[in-house]
Amino acid sequence: MDNFLTLFETYNVPAAFWVNIQLTFWAAVWSLVLGTLLALMRISPIPSLQWLGAAYVNIFRNTPLTIIIAFGVLGLFGQLQVSLTDDFNLNFFRLAILGLTIYHAAFVCEAIRSGVNTVPLGQAEAARAIGLSFLPAARLIILPQAFRGAIAPLGNVLIALIKNSTVAAAGSVAAEASSLMKTMIEFRGDLVIPIFFTFAIGFVILVIPVGLLTTWASRRLAVAR
């Protein structure tokens, strides 16, 4: 037991989790933005936009996240010299956020679309009937109700995102939790099982409140009909 506790003196586990929380936060914000735009494209009356939105979702939802993240480092940075900042480590961090965003935006889009399906067609018809065109109708009438109907599926995307933030390891973000776990196991093979449990429990502790919160919010904010 003492052996186990010394691990926390040698390795800064909370700091590693903090990196995952930051990855998650930024990827969540950006994928919400991108996912909303994609959902708008998919419900828009313009066929070419619908097609583009559908193509995006079908490509990135069906590509393994590891490949997207690795492409960020090896393809974008390594081959194409794309750099999001001059700071070497921050660049990997941002590329990882980019990869997480691109991947999860597809899921956010579909979650929002499921929310749109909870909004009766009559709402859109009434909006159009008073003279609102597509964008104002979407912004004022459809999306506000759709988001409230999409809280639970969006929560699921967030939960997946929290855990998927460990894939940033494939994008050379060495400070994040699963990378630290690998390092710890390398040096303290005698404690491999407690180390695994430490990180597993860490993620469970991060994720449980998200599930509780979204379940509560989806009931609290449900649109009464």
Task: List contacts with another protein (CB under 8 A).
Answer: 45, 120, 122-123, 125-133, 136, 140-141, 144-145, 148, 223-225
Pick the closer one to another protein by CB: 82 or 129: 129
CA 173 to the chain's CA centroid: 16
Write down the least CB distance from residue 129 to another protein, Å. Answer: 4
Q: DSSP label at 17?
A: H
Pick the closer one to another protein by CB: 91 or 145: 145
Write down the least CB distance from residue 194 to another protein, Å. Answer: 49
Is the separation of the CB atoms in 187 and 146 below 8 Å? Answer: no
By the 10 Å C-beta count (0-12 exposed, 13-18 middle, 19+ buried), 55 is classed as exposed
Pick the closer one to another protein by CB: 99 or 149: 149
Label residue 131 left, alpha or beta by phi (over 0 means left) and psi (-120 to 50 means alpha).
Answer: left
The count of other CB atoms within 10 Å of the CB of residue 67 is: 14
Tell me which amino acid residue 36 is: T
- Residue given tokens 């794309």 in the structure block: 82
Pick the closer one to another protein by CB: 14 or 136: 136
Write down the least CB distance from residue 39 to another protein, Å. Answer: 17
Pick the closer one to another protein by CB: 89 or 117: 117
Write down the least CB distance from residue 120 to another protein, Å. Answer: 8
Pick the closer one to another protein by CB: 150 or 184: 150
- What lies within 8 Å, CB to CB, of 161 at 6+ separation is 24, 27, 28, 31, 100, 104
Write down the least CB distance from residue 219 to another protein, Å. Answer: 15
Write down the least CB distance from residue 128 to another protein, Å. Answer: 6
Cα separation of 128 and 119, whole Å? 14
